[in-house]
Amino acid sequence: MANTEVSYEVVEVKSVATTTTTKKAVVLDETNVLALIAKKKTISETISAQTAELEKIKAEIYALMGWEKIKVNKKDKWVGEAEVGLVAGEERVKIDLRERTDFDGDILFNDYREIFDLVAKTTEYPVLTAK
């Protein structure tokens, strides 16, 4: 990362709802940042397309293995029995079952608020949006 000095200015930003907020702003080099934004957008679109394609391929492999996609609690779940797929006698596909424990935050928040308050953890993190 380049070690550059950044100077901030406070600006008023009006949103679509005509709400005015005060934010710290940095004036960016138009040439450099527009190229980076375009590259970020292209990469994001490529990743989205490849992720969708990957999910289709995985679905085809699951189907070839005799597995079926069903809905459980409004979520898709693959079910089946085959653990490995053989090609010319060699194991080429393997399906492992893994477990993960999830908590229903709404139930915890609404029905057991005192426990929710004890275990809830909020993490702040930056999200980059480029237009």
Secondary structure (DSSP) of 30-97: HHHHHHHHHHHHHHHHHHHHHHHHHHHHHHHHHHHTT-EEEEETTEEEEE-S--EEEETTEEEEE---
Task: Tell me which of 33 and 129 has the higher pLDDT.
Answer: 33
- Amino acid 82: pLDDT: 93
- Amino acid 7: pLDDT: 60
pTM: 0.67
- Amino acid 90: pLDDT: 94
Task: Tell me which of 109 and 126 has the higher pLDDT.
Answer: 109
Place of tokens 């779940």: 77
- Amino acid 81: pLDDT: 94
Q: Return the amino acid letter for 3.
A: N
Residue 8 confidence class, pLDDT cut points 50, 70, 90: low
